[in-house]
Structure 1
Amino acid sequence: MESVNQITCEKRSYAKEYESHQHEFGQFLFPLQGSLDIQTEWQDINLNSDYCLYLPPRFAHNFRSIDRNEFLILDIPIQYLPENTSSMYLKVDKQWASIRYLLLEEAKCQQDISSLVDLTRYVTSKLHVSRPASIEYIHKHYKESIKLETLAKIEYYHPVYYSAWFKKKTGKSLKIYISELRLKEAKHLLNSSGWSMSKISEELGFENSSSFSRWFVNAEGISPQKYRILYSG
């Protein structure tokens, strides 16, 4: 990157030997071919084309690629970034795939810098609203039994560090976060469906309606039956 004040969007390839550095700008990495091994203090990531990675400024990391490789790199000066960003390992869904496509187009013909600036501002705005891969997994599987080790593995973290990372990221413990998701869905089902307690408890992953009722009373202070009577439309 020529200047820490200049947005750069370009394709790059990496060597087979580990290199170490940190930079004064933020960086998005989108694998196009091959994969990239990235080591940080708490992670050991193999980044492939199913994911992208954001590295914040002054974030020390080692990196290498042992196969034929090509990556789309977006270097983002600090003035375009939200404050206190942290690294994010993101699944490339349809929206991120579209962003990658637009960035590739910008990398081809950087004649109008204003369009790259606008696109970069959009990308950085998503740092506030995008869910890291493990939290996205929770939202899809919170009705099931989720192991801490499974979530830590998704982010390439040690389980002990993952718990601290998760609380910093969400402001809540993993147990409370999942419980709140289940409670929100329980209230929705009680209010909007005519399902029995057994059906709702099964839907939310409880062994039986009794365990669901005990959990609901502990969370809300009233039984799910009474909640339905008081709050259903």
Structure 2
Amino acid sequence: MYRLLIADDEPLVKERLTKTIPWKDFGITQVLTAADGKEALDLALEHSIDVIITDIRMPIMNGIELLETLAKGSCKAKVILISGYADFQYAQKALRLGAIDYVMKPVIADELIKIVLRITEMIKQEREDQQKLHFANQQIHENLDVLRKEFFWNTILGRINTEDEFYRQATDLQLSIRNLPCLYFEFTFIKKRPTESTAYVLLLRSTIEALSEQISDRDIKCYCFSVEHDIISGLLFTRKDISYLSHRMDDVLIHIRHILNTISHYSFQLYMSSVYTSPTHLQLAREEVLCLKRKNNSFNYGMDTHVPPEEYSLNYYRPDNIDSLTYAIIHGSIAETTQWVNHTLLNLPSGCVQYDLRMTAFSIINSVIEHLIEYGASPQESFSQLTIVLFTNLDKIQDIPTFRNFLNAILNVIISDVRMDNPDTRSSTITGILEYTKKHFRESITSKTVAEAFYFNPSYFSKLFKNEVGIHFTKYLTNLRLEDAKKALENTNDKIANIARATGYEDIQYFVKLFKNHTGLTPSQYRESKRLNIG
């Protein structure tokens, strides 16, 4: 329901507010605490906090600074200020900055509860409004997508009779395509896949969406749609001149052909029209393609064919032992999937370039998803967006090591989706996260960046980490860094600033305050105390 954060540097105040009020009775399912504003900020961002109760006067970052920082960021938490009489002017400033209310010290529980209930009712209403808005936008987007495809198909079939009518409908559908050069293409699969294959239909739909997204850029816009299960039709528009679209076609077509190869498992033919000066000529473009099909002139683009760019070696690898990988995933064996990936690396063709590695990874994951859906190992919904996620992350593959890391990470995510009820799977995942954090804690990592490294949703990652490790990730990371700083203070003569930076803290003042907050001593005092003990 709602998450609450209590920020105060007085332990007794935090304990009283946390333990004496039955927060669950008021819809609060999670209560976190922080000793200063900076810790509160980190926790609020990490856990998507709904309500923050914060003292005004705190070390490192006070309540007003916390409120100002929250107002500038993405966190939408509602804030209640705890104020002493002398802080009344600060409380007024806090209200101007967006705080919902304030309570005077000593805090009266009933008064605080009333404010929290008022806030949770506000949040409930906001969520309902957002849900309605999201649903409305989703319906508009889905309907717009369907209407656009219907519009293009009607144009291609010659059902829109005048240029004025064409541009009127295009404007209504928010299509800025007036006088843009364009062409029409079709991919026809030579052997149909069974239409009853739910997995194939799902992958085809996801791939069509991904094609439209991935091929489109600032200068080219692609619209793909499937009229029949064995045909994918598409339109390409450019904001530049005809020569630019002709020049880019080799790149675009090789990209499309490789992507379709990864899901089809069957050969296909490509037919493409010439580039036309205006989208009002799309009917002619399709007639040209139909003529090419009658003559069986596949891969005839209607223009001069150019040699494919050197960066595409057309040499990607499609493993034939996907069944063994699927079996390992279903049984939650990360060791076996890792072994499978290593074996695959040994069998990669010589001369593989960056693009080949990306298409190999995409081919493997798509095959795995299709197998898992057909085996009923996991609901289709859990994989419905993974194809598009793959596209958006493929650029992380630069060479063999990044190929290995990418493939292992994605396979681990799939294992988590399929077998997250298996304690061994969770344990292996957390072990990897802990090892990664220990290796990189000196860098500017956060809960969000670590979640992304393991392809987890940040909120889900935070919940999983807390459940498995027993403390929040932010606290775990802080403990790692401060323990490392202690060792450096004890065993070296490095400057405090250098030690701070070496343990992941660029803000030296923040490091000193944080260190003192956790140890009771400044870094200099801590170093001196250890040397006195040795002496």
TM-score by length of structure 2 reads 0.25
Picking from 44, 55, 60, the partner of 2:418 is: 60
CA distance in 2, matches of 1:60, 1:212: 41
* 1:144-155 alignment, distance < 5 Å: 144-155=443-454
Residue identity in the other structure for 1:198? A
Deviates more, 1:42-51 or 1:219-228: 42-51
2:322 partner letter: Y
Mark the runs of 5 or more structure 1 residues left unpaired by the alignment: 1-10, 62-82, 89-126
Q: Flag the 1:59–1:137 CA change in 2: closer, same or farther, 3 A.
A: closer
Name 1:162's counterpart in structure 2.
Answer: 461
Matched, 1:172 2:480: no
Q: Does residue 1:13 correspond to 2:13, yes or no?
A: no
The equivalent residue for 2:491 is 192
Measured in 2, the distance between the counterparts of 1:21 and 1:209 equals 48
Alpha-carbon distance in structure 1 between the residues aligned to 2:425 and 2:518: 32
Distance 1:200 1:58 in 2: 37
Aligned length: 158
Matches for 1:90-129 after TM superposition, within 5 Å: 127=428
Q: 1:21 to 1:197 in 2, by over 3 A?
A: closer
Tell me, yes or no, if the aligned pair for 1:22 and 1:59 is still in contact at 8 Å: no
Do the aligned partners of 2:447 and 2:474 also contact (CA within 8 Å) in 1? Answer: no
CA distance 1:196–1:58, shift in 2 (3 Å): closer
Query: 1:219 Cα deviation (Å)?
Result: 0.9
AA matched with 2:465: F
TM-score by length of 1: 0.53
| 8 A contact 2:332–2:425 mirrored in 1 | no
Structure 1: distance between partners of 2:478 and 2:451: 19
| 2:321 aligned partner, one-letter code | S
Counterpart CA distance in 1 for 2:484 and 2:417 is 38
Structure 2 counterpart of 1:207, from 506, 511, 530: 506
Match of 1:84 in 2: 423
Please tell me whether residue 141 in structure 1 is matched to residue 480 in structure 2: no
Structure 2: stretches of 5+ with no match in the other structure: 1-318, 345-359, 370-377, 391-401
* Cα distance between partner residues in 1 of 2:417 and 2:320: 19
* Aligned residue number for residue 31 of structure 2: none
Instruction: From the two aligned structures, give the one with the greater strand fraction.
Output: 1
**Match status 1:223 vs 2:522:** yes
Written as runs of structure 1 = structure 2, the 5 A alignment for 1:16-35 is 25-27=331-333, 28-29=336-337, 30-31=340-341, 32-33=343-344, 34-35=360-361
- What is the alpha-carbon distance in structure 2 between the residues aligned to residue 205 and residue 215 of structure 1? 13
Q: CA deviation at 1:152?
A: 1.8
Q: Classify 1:204/1:12 alpha carbon distance in 2 versus 1 (closer, same or farther; 3 Å).
A: same
Separation in 1 of the partners of 2:463 and 2:503?
Answer: 26
Q: Which amino acid aligns with 1:165?
A: L
Change (3 A) 1:170 1:12: farther
Alpha-carbon shift at residue 141 of structure 1 (Å): 2.3
Q: Matched residue of 1:218: which SS?
A: helix
Q: 1-side partners of 2:436 and 2:423: how far apart?
A: 24
The structure whose RCO (Cα within 8 Å, separation 6+) is larger is: 1
What's the counterpart of residue 153 of structure 2?
none
Inter-partner Cα distance in structure 2 for 1:211 and 1:195: 18
One-letter amino acid of the structure 2 residue matched with residue 183 of structure 1:
L
CA distance in 1 between counterparts of 2:436 and 2:444 reads: 12
| Alpha-carbon distance in 1 for matches of 2:493, 2:509 | 18
The CA distance in 2 between the partners of 1:136 and 1:22, in whole Å, is 22
Q: Cα 1:60–1:199, aligned 2, differ >3 Å: closer, same or farther?
A: closer
In 1, Cα distance between equivalents of 2:444 and 2:527 = 26
Q: CA deviation at 1:186?
A: 0.7
Shift of 1:87: 4.5
Paired position in structure 1 for 2:431: 131
The separation in 2 between residues aligned to 1:208 and 1:20, in whole angstroms, is 49
**Aligned-partner Cα distance in 1 for 2:424–2:514:** 36
Q: Secondary structure at the match of 1:145?
A: coil
Amino acid at match of 1:187: K
Aligned equivalents of 2:404 and 2:440: distance in 1?
A: 23
Matched-pair identity in % = 23
Q: Is the 8 A contact 2:481 2:504 kept in 1?
A: no
Quote the Cα distance in structure 1 between the aligned partners of 2:416 and 2:506: 48
Question: 214-223 or 40-49, which moves further after superposition?
Answer: 40-49
